Chain A
Amino acid sequence: GAVVSQHPSWVICKSGTSVKIECRSLDFQATTMFWYRQFPKQSLMLMATSNEGSKATYEQGVEKDKFLINHASLTLSTLTVTSAHPEDSSFYICSARNVGPHEQYFGPGTRLTVT
């Protein structure tokens, strides 16, 4: 149980376009989902926390207009990278928190390359 999926697993896009990444909890309801980014050989940095039905809370330094997060249901959160630039190329990982223990379950990640 407690499986989280992400789609797509990798994406290449041109500079200036927008890319949407989906995060789904497959076998549980996730009231809270988290989005992280990870640069090569670095650790995960929390970008934002999203609660179902409300606006996401962004970490300091993360542009909310650039990284649009929607958590419309208890099993789906989306991250849209708007007007992507090469510096947005990174590994994006989502996680979902189940009701109960404060444990997060992580998705497999999405590799974004902006050319």
Chain B
Amino acid sequence: KQEVTQIPAALSVPEGENLVLNCSFTDSAIYNLQWFRQDPGKGLTSLLLIQSSQREQTSGRLNASLDKSSGRSTLYIAASQPGDSATYLCAVGTSGSRLTFGEGTQLTVNP
């Protein structure tokens, strides 16, 4: 059974800092890995999707990497802003398009 763990559970940083969120998974037989953002009481916003054959994806200030063999992914956020404050979820896609989610990292960027 696939298990996804995210570290840290919560993170508070000053504005402008670069930061890294970590995600690990137990079964390396994955199709893809997705990073999502969730604002309080809202749905999910997809940030980056990495296919299993890819090593990383970039979008603006966000960069996600994938090391399938070690079961790890990182989400790098450059020059953080208060508007980046949200919960970041990592989800691993396996057969049948199933997604297994981590518990999330709650990020607070202080002005």
B86 to chain A, nearest CB (A): 14
In the complex, which of the residues A34, A91, A93, A102 contacts B32, with contact meaning CB atoms closer than 8 Å?
A102
Cβ contact within 8 Å between B46 and A106: yes
CB pair B104 A43 closer than 8 Å: yes
Evaluate whether A109 and B97 lie within 8 angstroms (CB atoms) in the complex, with A42-B103, A103-B32 already known.
Answer: no
Is B96 at the interface (CB under 8 A from chain A)?
yes
A108 touches B42 (CB 8 A): yes
Q: Is the CB of A102 within 8 A of B97?
A: yes
From A105, which residue of chain B is reached at the shortest CB distance? B46
**Given known A-B contacts A44-B89, A103-B49, A32 and B97 have beta carbons under 8 A apart:** yes
Tell me the bound Cα distance from A73 to B21 in angstroms: 39
User: For the complex, what is the distance from the CA of A111 to the CA of B42, rounded to whole Å?
Assistant: 9
Among the listed A102, A103, A106, which residue makes an inter-chain contact with B44, where contact means beta carbons less than 8 Å apart?
A: A106
Cα-based distance from A105 to B99 in the complex (angstroms): 12
Contacts of B104 in A (CB 8 A): 43
Instruction: Please state if A43 and B89 are interface contacts (CB–CB under 8 Å).
Output: yes
Q: Are B44's CB and A43's CB within 8 A?
A: no
A46 on the interface (CB 8 Å rule)?
Answer: yes
Closest A residue to B96 using CB positions = A49
From B34, B99, B102, residue with most partner A Cβ within 10 Å: B99
Q: Smallest Cβ distance from A46 to chain B, in angstroms?
A: 7
Q: Is the CB of A103 within 8 A of B34?
A: yes
Q: Is the CB of B49 within 8 A of A109?
A: no
Extra contacts besides A44-B91, A102-B31, A111-B41 (14): CB < 8 Å? A32-B97, A34-B99, A42-B103, A43-B89, A44-B89, A45-B101, A46-B98, A49-B96, A101-B32, A102-B32, A103-B34, A104-B93, A109-B41, A109-B42
On A, residues with C-beta under 8 Å from B are 6, 32, 34, 42-46, 49, 91, 93, 95, 97, 101-109, 111
A-B contact pairs, 16 of them (CB 8 A): A34-B97, A43-B103, A43-B104, A44-B44, A44-B99, A44-B101, A45-B101, A46-B100, A91-B41, A102-B31, A103-B46, A103-B49, A104-B93, A108-B43, A109-B41, A109-B43
